Amino acid sequence: MRVSIEADISTKHCNILSTRQQEIALTQYHIAVIVGSLRKDSFNRKFADAIAKLGPPDFIFKQVEIGDLPLYNQDDDDHPAPAVKRLKLDISDAQGVLFVTPEYNRSIPGVLKNAIDHASRPYGQSAWIGKPAGLLGSSIGAIGSAIAQQELRNVLAYLDMPTLGQPEVFLTVNEATFDGDGKVNAKTEEFLQSWMNHYVDWVKKHSL
Ligand code: FNR
């Protein structure tokens, strides 16, 4: 009898564990990816596509549309355009955010800042607060978007987004950087994989 009770408890314990394990297995991390270029053949969009492929199966990367947002105007805070509502939902629903941006005139592109401003308002209703962030960037210049990324860090700090500090990735790009399948060369991919591993740990540690 005693044995059968223990066996019963043990079976229940196993069932509880397996349910929990199933929950963990089912957990997915949705990452909102924001590309700071609207250009059709954007290197940064290719970069965003390439890095997403290096994520683990439980990470779902979705590029967020920012090209149809109106210019931010504080007068519209009480009646946001549908594209603004969609952007805020995309950010709110995500467990993490990934910015992939070029550098424009030693800063971030206006389209990116416009999107950031939209989702930060109305005052007190920012969608960004607490979302773990990663940032990457590429440019054709030798410093590979370094100044833009530094400026973006400043903005993300103000928005209260825990942002991965290391490793940093400043990718200098040209037409040969991505092959016909959108892949980078093996050495670059190895480095990007290391960045992705850090980013995954960062999101898991900081997601709400
Ligand atoms: C640039 N570019 C550029 N590059 C850079 O390294 N530092 C810079 O300050 C600038 N400034 C700049 C301003 C503007 C208005 C443009 C259009 C471009 C070059 C830029 O890195 C290059 O065009 C990238 O290819 C842009 O990224 P996407 O569109 O390919 O993703």
Instruction: Please give the full DSSP string across 22-85, using - where no structure is assigned.
Output: HHHHH--EEEEEEES---TT-HHHHHHHHHHTTS-TTEEEEEPP-TTPPPP-GGGTTS--HHHH
Per the CB < 8 A criterion, the answer to whether 45 and 35 are in contact is yes
Could you tell me if the CB of 132 is within 6 A of ligand 1?
no
Q: Out of 43, 46, 104, give the residue to mutate to test ligand 1, the one with the largest number of ligand atoms within 8 Å of its CB.
A: 104
**171: helix, strand or coil:** strand
Q: Which amino acid is at 157?
A: A
Which residues neighbour 119 within 8 Å (Cβ) at sequence distance 6 or greater?
Answer: 84, 87, 88, 91, 126, 127, 128
**143: helix, strand or coil:** coil
Could you tell me if the CB of 120 is within 6 A of ligand 1?
no
Task: Tell me: pLDDT of 28 over 90.
Answer: yes
Neighbours of 20 (CB within 10 A): 10
Task: Tell me: pLDDT of 14 over 70.
Answer: no
Q: Out of 113, 135, 139, give the residue to mutate to test ligand 1, the one with the largest number of ligand atoms within 8 Å of its CB.
A: 139
Residue nearest to atom 18 of ligand 1 (CA): 104
Residue 98 Cα distances to 5, 11, 49, 52, angstroms: 51, 43, 12, 10
Could you tell me if the CB of 110 is within 6 A of ligand 1?
no
* Continuous segment of H or E residues that includes residue 106: none
Note the pLDDT tens digit of each residue in 129-159.
999 999 999 999 999 999 999 999 999 999 9
Could you tell me if the CB of 146 is within 6 A of ligand 1?
no
Residue nearest to atom 27 of ligand 1 (CA): 102
Per the CB < 8 A criterion, the answer to whether 109 and 44 are in contact is no
Could you tell me if the CB of 140 is within 6 A of ligand 1?
yes
Could you tell me if the CB of 104 is within 6 A of ligand 1?
yes
Task: Tell me: pLDDT of 185 over 80.
Answer: yes
Neighbours of 137 (CB within 10 A): 28
CA of 176 to the centre of ligand 1 (A): 17
Averaged confidence pLDDT in the chain: 91
Grade residue 208 by pLDDT with cuts at 50, 70 and 90: confident
Mean pLDDT of 109-131: 98
Between CA 109 and CA 117 the distance in angstroms is 13
Instruction: Note the pLDDT of residue 18.
Output: 54
Note the pLDDT tens digit of each residue in 30-77.
999 999 999 999 999 999 999 999 999 999 999 999 999 999 999 999
Nearest to 184 by CA among 82, 19, 175: 175
